[in-house]
Chains A and B, each alone.
Chain A
Amino acid sequence: MDFFDDGTPGWYALAILLLPLAGFCFNAFTYRTEFTRKRGHIVPLLTIGTALFCALSIFKHSVIDYDADHAGGHGTHAAAAHGAPADGSADEHASGGADGEHGAARAAGSLADPRWRWSSKDHGGSYRLIDTGALRLDAGIAIDHLTATMLVVVTLVAFLVHLYSTSYMHGDKRYSRFFAFLQLFSFSMLGLILTDNLLLLFCFWELVGLCSYFLIGFWFENEDPPKASMKAFMTNRFGDAGFLVGILLVYRMFGTTDLSEIYSKMQAVAEGSAAVPSLFGWETGTLLTVAGLCLFMGPMAKSAQVPMHIWLPDAMAGPTPVSALIHAATMVAAGVYMVGRIYFFFTPDCLAFIAGIGTVTALLAATIGLVHNNIKKVLAYSTCSQLGYMMLSLGVGGYSAGLFHLYTHAFFKACLFLGAGSVIHSVHTEDMREMGGLKEKMPVTYRTMLIATLALAGVPFFSGAFSKEMIVEHALVWGFGANVAKLLPALIAIGGGGLTFFYMMRLINLTFFGQPRDHHKFDHAHESPPAMTIPLLVLAFLSLFSVGWPIPLFGGKKLPELLAPPPALASIALGHDEHHGHAGFALAFAVLVISCAVLWVGYVLYKRTYKERRPGPEVWVARFGGLYTTVTNLYYFDEFYRATVVRLGNATARVLAIVDSKVLDAAVNGVGAVGQLVGKAFALFDRLVVDGLVNLWWHLSHAISKKLRRIQTGNLQDYLAFAVGGMALVTLLFLFLA
């Protein structure tokens, strides 16, 4: 426990956060030097490697040891832990694990302590970004089980991807810049995980989006990447706008964006000792739901949930390591992480919505995966679908299951992407129709990808099976006894397994089995160098000997048992704290059996279609022509958006621009023209009337003076006579007037 008593975790976390940033700065500022251009990977590898080490250390202390120290006895320590300061809480329901998520919080008798296992603020470690008096934004580092596990996943995958890229991106003219962006991404992603403030989470959220934007558009000379990167950023911008509105609502309700403060205020609301200021005359429940839905807009875009999934497949235009790191393992999972982070905030309605979106995504994306021919896009849709699973799980109350799936998925999907990258690197095409028969030529790639595929499909004893079954169990428990619609997530989660197996086997089949369909490309194919295969092996290992197994390292526990959910404060606040019951052993067993059956169906279908060709895929296509077209056209989402949002936006822009120049500016110019007209009228008036009067006066005086000048004879005597006469006149006048 010494580790947590002082600032040590803070230094570790700071190192994790800042080392990649330093690596980015190094590469960015020295990009002209020979060293960075040729060996731009060295510093990034060092930084991310150190970060990985630190992350493992934090994980060991804050998850494994912590759990052993604190929650050894089921519930017996709960009372003691409850009163413990700062770092000694939040864990009493860790004991219950997947089986008693809500139960634990209830059993404790009151609400759980919200505080982190370790927060830098307890040790005076925070960075005051801004303080307006009303809003004080202290950036602090907070560590709990969620953070610690995410840190490991991100740094590990990032490290492997860095390593992989040294070979994959070798010879690229922007080699060092690629690593710079990877580093910046790692920094942003790790910041997103470590921050303890919702607004800062949003900041990092946008930053990872920025890195994604630049990395998708990394080969910007080509046609697709710029479009794809813009699409990605814009779609996310829509989500982020919702996210921001959600933050505004949260701030309005609780007056803070600090997560633990939100938590405690929420707790006060749940206990009934505080109220939420009303808005639009809504009740607290509606307000919380609306806020939750707004906040969920962010994850919806970032985690590529229907209907905002459109950007993810296009994002495959980026280099493959980027797809593996950002668009499979980490950034897209940030949405799931975020939902987990503020899980206590979501009301039951909100969670139901999340479950619904997750379900639809899981199904739709999987069906598209069935028909696509681009190897990376199949994987992208698979990612979409799996993210749907995670959301579904979180939505139905399977907090640990969803996050656990996030971790397992990160490894096997990264493995698949890197494997796909290895194939692409070797045959220089992404179209699976030009591959085939690569099994012998690329044995390592083939085997690792196969393992990852089995894990993804959820074949028992591979990592995916553990997480998926937990998801299905939760979905079943959630939907059981309610109306049929609530059972849909469970049904689709089960059925989706078959679909997944089918499309993944199709991918493996098209790529590795059969006869080569493009001999030229086949002849040049070769196994990738160790820098690429080692990450594959590591990831495959992680998919196989999964963290899902109860291993001695975790004190004989499974990882998901260490991932305790926070109490569903929003539900409690609304008096909805119904207990969903336990997914008992019987249910777990049933799920296992059913899942295996579905997998078997999927495999049989695959075998009949692709191996035995009775009937072959063409027949299926012919039979379901309309559906097939719809699916190959990706359900016309792009067309729909192009026809509505994009068109509306452009039309509005054009119309307003015309209004601006033709109406407003014309009005201004009109005022100018009127002014000129008035001016001309005045000028006319001036010339005719005013000037006329002046001229008249001149003419008049000229005429008069012409007469008068006659008296000016020039004769001195006349003048004298006038003078004397005048004087006489004046004298007479004086005389008479006096």
Chain B
Amino acid sequence: MISTIDSTHLLTWITLSPLLGVLAILFTPRDKADVIKTLAAAFTGIPLVLAVWMYVKFDQSLPGYQLFDDFAWVEAFNIRYTVGVDGLSSPLVLLTSILMFFAVFSSWNTEKGVKGYFMLLLLLEVGVNGVFVSLDFFLFYVYWELMLLPMYFLIGIWGGPRREYAAIKFFLYTLAGSVLMLVAMIAMYLHSGATAAERTFSLITLAQRGQDGLFANGPMLFGMEFRHWLFLFLFIGFAIKIPVFPFHTWLPDAHVEAPTAISVVLAGILLKLGGYGLMRMNMSIFPDVMWDGSGPTAWATGIAFLGMVNCVYGAFVAMAQTDMKKLVAYSSVAHMGFVLLGLAAMNQNGIAGANLQLFNHGTSSAMLFLLVGVIYDRAHHREIARFGGLASHLPMYASLAFLGIFTSLGLPGLAGFWGEALSLIGAYQHFPKIVLASTIGLIVTAAFFLMMIRKVFFGPKKEIYAGYPDLTLREWACLTPFGVLCILLGVAPFLLSDWMKPSIDALASLFGVKS
């Protein structure tokens, strides 16, 4: 099963090296803010470098997991520390490392509680990367919860005026999902074998046994099959993270209250965990719940439908927003709908689209939140109606903003398009009507973004904004890499899709797709 252990323990290093940073910052005096920031940058830089190395080292021709690290952790329950990546998780590890590095830079101006802030940020990176590399459900769960806590404090302490409300809402929502996941995890563990020795938390084994129909013969509970319960619990757990309508209401509040860098991380990475989890757990372990051998089941149709609702509903609600950050937050809801649509399609195009959308939304939404942060730093408000003519005052800012916005609204040639288009193409195979309805979302998305451009960037100059400086070097350095990624992945989407392809083929083969 685990063929070769990676002798360099690369993934472990990527995951845990920020912990060293936490320690280093812990022993740095509180008043040495610059030292702390430099340390944070260094210890998010290390995983970034290692993640790039991982990209180089990763064999893109293999479908399964690679770069294993594995040893027993709690032997009594067969809990193991198993990490490894495949084509679905490794791009997200890279994305996380990139975003975290720039999150540190974009929060360089933090003055309040610098020490705690950066320690929590580093801890967050441990949690997120840990989730992506875990191949043991228990480990996965531990990291999943580990990531929750720093986020709570980062929003709750460094956030805006309603930060406590937002933080608690975020925490409780996510915790509710985690609890269901915990129940499912334990149930799966207990069901995974007759004796203690056979039971396992290993995601590889669970997926193998699940695909062999292990969970199909569970007991009926309250009139629903066992595997359906498990599927539902896991789905809700991940749906809250994605977030899927109607579990999305934590997102706008959390985004609006969170400081810029945290919004970036939240939208750029944390939402991706949900989509990733759906693939790793729901689709891999319970393919038979979504696919009945010849076509999609009601469950898959339901997921596609929710995806459509996300697209349309998120876009419409975004259109009614007056706060820039909230608008961007709701646009994320709309964009994540395409992920659901693509996954529900269960074919190569759909899954590829969903994965591209995960990565590309990571860059484009990060860029948008950074952009909103830039203008908020100057104007100290985010009311769309109060802006105007910024394209005259801040030309460089405007150019990058247009790039981000048009990526986000899915303009071909920029990264955002491929995810949306492939998701739709994939989903069209099974759910033509749902896809038709989703195209309304495409139109409305364009509408609200253009409305924002018109009101914020176009129009006559306004005197109050005349003195605003254009992008500083630091802001420019934070934004440009994302701009480059948006263009690069727009004109060369194969950089991502080739990387993911073997794993996508493997996943799609569970649903009757021959590659």
A and B in contact, CB less than 8 Å = yes
**A241 to chain B: which residues have CB within 8 Å?**
439-440, 442-443
Provide the A232-269 mask, 1 if CB < 8 A to any CB of B, else 0: 01100110010011011101100000000000000000
Q: A135-B425, A245-B439 known; A130 and B494 CB under 8 Å?
A: yes
Q: Does A133 contact B (CB under 8 A)?
A: yes
How far is the CB of B151 from the nearest CB of chain A, in Å? Answer: 18
A32 to B109 Cα, complex, angstroms: 28
Q: Does B392 contact A (CB under 8 A)?
A: yes
A227 touches B454 (CB 8 A): yes
A633 to B315 Cα, complex, angstroms: 32
Cross-interface CB contact of B457 among A130, A133, A207, A220, cutoff 8 Å: A220
Q: Which of A353-361, A436-444, A653-661 has 4 or more CB atoms under 8 Å from chain B?
A: A653-661
Q: Does B24 contact A (CB under 8 A)?
A: no
A135 to B436 Cα, complex, angstroms: 20
How far is the CB of A195 from the nearest CB of chain B, in Å? Answer: 11
Q: Which of A145-153, A198-206, A683-691 has 4 or more CB atoms under 8 Å from chain B?
A: A198-206
426-454 of chain B: CB within 8 A of chain A: 426, 428-429, 432, 435-436, 439-440, 442-444, 446-448, 450-451, 453-454
Q: Does B209 contact A (CB under 8 A)?
A: no
A497 to B206 Cα, complex, angstroms: 74
A131 touches B447 (CB 8 A): no
**B392 to chain A: which residues have CB within 8 Å?**
220-221
Q: Does A701 contact B (CB under 8 A)?
A: no
A49 to B424 Cα, complex, angstroms: 40
A132 touches B422 (CB 8 A): yes
B348 touches A132 (CB 8 A): yes
**A652 to chain B: which residues have CB within 8 Å?**
316
A223 to B440 Cα, complex, angstroms: 28
B317 touches A657 (CB 8 A): yes
Q: Which of A2-10, A529-537, A571-579, A664-672 has 4 or more CB atoms under 8 Å from chain B?
A: A664-672
Q: Does A707 contact B (CB under 8 A)?
A: no
Cross-interface CB contact of B493 among A130, A210, A656, cutoff 8 Å: A130
Cross-interface CB contact of A233 among B422, B446, B458, cutoff 8 Å: B446
Cross-interface CB contact of B425 among A226, A251, A280, cutoff 8 Å: A251
Q: Does A706 contact B (CB under 8 A)?
A: no
160-215 of chain A: CB within 8 A of chain B: 199, 202-207, 210
Q: Does A622 contact B (CB under 8 A)?
A: no
448-496 of chain B: CB within 8 A of chain A: 448, 450-451, 453-454, 457-461, 491-494
Minimum CB distance partner of A280 in chain B: B432
A656 touches B457 (CB 8 A): no
How far is the CB of A486 from the nearest CB of chain B, in Å? Answer: 31
A206 touches B348 (CB 8 A): no
Provide the B268-284 mask, 1 if CB < 8 A to any CB of A, else 0: 00000000000000000
Minimum CB distance partner of B459 in chain A: A226
**B457 to chain A: which residues have CB within 8 Å?**
220
A132 touches B319 (CB 8 A): no
**B317 to chain A: which residues have CB within 8 Å?**
653, 656-657, 660
How far is the CB of B391 from the nearest CB of chain A, in Å? Answer: 6
Q: Does B219 contact A (CB under 8 A)?
A: no
A220 touches B501 (CB 8 A): no
**B508 to chain A: which residues have CB within 8 Å?**
133
Q: Does B211 contact A (CB under 8 A)?
A: no
Cross-interface CB contact of A653 among B246, B320, B417, B493, cutoff 8 Å: B320
A650 to B321 Cα, complex, angstroms: 11
A244 touches B421 (CB 8 A): yes
A668 to B253 Cα, complex, angstroms: 12
Q: Does A649 contact B (CB under 8 A)?
A: yes
Provide the A130-142 mask, 1 if CB < 8 A to any CB of B, else 0: 1111110000000
Minimum CB distance partner of A139 in chain B: B491
A-side interface mostly: helix
Q: Does B406 contact A (CB under 8 A)?
A: yes
How far is the CB of B454 from the nearest CB of chain A, in Å? Answer: 5
B412 touches A248 (CB 8 A): no
Q: Does A230 contact B (CB under 8 A)?
A: yes
Q: Does A217 contact B (CB under 8 A)?
A: yes
Q: Does B505 contact A (CB under 8 A)?
A: yes
Q: A248-B428, A668-B249 known; A206 and B320 CB under 8 Å?
A: no
B169 touches A130 (CB 8 A): no
Q: A226-B458, A227-B454 known; A132 and B411 CB under 8 Å?
A: no
A203 touches B412 (CB 8 A): yes
A130 to B444 Cα, complex, angstroms: 27
How far is the CB of A623 from the nearest CB of chain B, in Å? Answer: 42
Q: Does B515 contact A (CB under 8 A)?
A: yes
How far is the CB of A138 from the nearest CB of chain B, in Å? Answer: 11
Cross-interface CB contact of A132 among B349, B412, B443, B491, cutoff 8 Å: B349
Provide the B402-422 mask, 1 if CB < 8 A to any CB of A, else 0: 000010000111000110011
**A245 to chain B: which residues have CB within 8 Å?**
435-436, 439
Minimum CB distance partner of B356 in chain A: A130
A220 to B352 Cα, complex, angstroms: 39
Q: A251-B425, A650-B319 known; A130 and B249 CB under 8 Å?
A: no
**A252 to chain B: which residues have CB within 8 Å?**
428-429, 432
Please, how many residues of chain A have a CB less than 8 angstroms from a CB on the other chain?
52
Minimum CB distance partner of B389 in chain A: A221
A207 touches B458 (CB 8 A): no
Cross-interface CB contact of B497 among A131, A199, A210, A230, cutoff 8 Å: A131
Q: A206-B411, A649-B444 known; A230 and B422 CB under 8 Å?
A: no
Q: A221-B461, A237-B442, A653-B320 known; A244 and B454 CB under 8 Å?
A: no
How far is the CB of B399 from the nearest CB of chain A, in Å? Answer: 8
Provide the B303-325 mask, 1 if CB < 8 A to any CB of A, else 0: 00000000001001111110000
Cross-interface CB contact of A657 among B321, B421, B447, B513, cutoff 8 Å: B321
Cross-interface CB contact of B435 among A133, A199, A248, A649, cutoff 8 Å: A248
**B212 to chain A: which residues have CB within 8 Å?**
none
B424 touches A248 (CB 8 A): yes
A210 to B450 Cα, complex, angstroms: 11
**B497 to chain A: which residues have CB within 8 Å?**
130-132
A131 touches B446 (CB 8 A): no
How far is the CB of A42 from the nearest CB of chain B, in Å? Answer: 22
Q: Does B6 contact A (CB under 8 A)?
A: no
How far is the CB of B242 from the nearest CB of chain A, in Å? Answer: 15
**B460 to chain A: which residues have CB within 8 Å?**
221-223
Q: Does B347 contact A (CB under 8 A)?
A: yes
Q: Does A279 contact B (CB under 8 A)?
A: yes
A199 touches B421 (CB 8 A): yes
B316 touches A656 (CB 8 A): yes
A233 touches B321 (CB 8 A): no
Q: Does A129 contact B (CB under 8 A)?
A: yes
A252 to B446 Cα, complex, angstroms: 26
Q: Does A128 contact B (CB under 8 A)?
A: yes
B501 touches A233 (CB 8 A): no
How far is the CB of A283 from the nearest CB of chain B, in Å? Answer: 16
30 A-B pairs, CB-CB below 8 angstroms? A130-B422, A131-B498, A131-B501, A133-B508, A134-B349, A135-B422, A203-B412, A203-B413, A203-B417, A205-B412, A206-B413, A207-B411, A210-B411, A217-B458, A227-B454, A229-B454, A233-B450, A237-B442, A241-B442, A241-B443, A244-B421, A244-B424, A251-B425, A252-B428, A652-B316, A653-B444, A656-B316, A657-B316, A657-B317, A660-B249
- A sample of 9 more A-B contacts (CB under 8 A), given A132-B422, A230-B451, A230-B453, is A204-B412, A230-B450, A245-B439, A248-B425, A653-B319, A653-B448, A665-B249, A668-B249, A668-B250
Hey, which bits of chain A sit against chain B, CB under 8 A?
128-135, 199, 202-207, 210, 217, 220-223, 225-227, 229-230, 233-234, 237-238, 241, 244-245, 247-249, 251-252, 279-280, 649-650, 652-654, 656-657, 660, 664-665, 668, 672
Hey, which bits of chain B sit against chain A, CB under 8 A?
169, 172-173, 246, 249-250, 313, 316-321, 347-349, 352-353, 389, 391-392, 406, 411-413, 417-418, 421-422, 424-426, 428-429, 432, 435-436, 439-440, 442-444, 446-448, 450-451, 453-454, 457-461, 491-494, 497-498, 501, 504-505, 508, 513, 515
The 10 closest A-B pairs by CB, nearest first: A203-B412, A657-B320, A226-B458, A653-B319, A220-B458, A132-B352, A653-B320, A133-B348, A134-B348, A248-B428
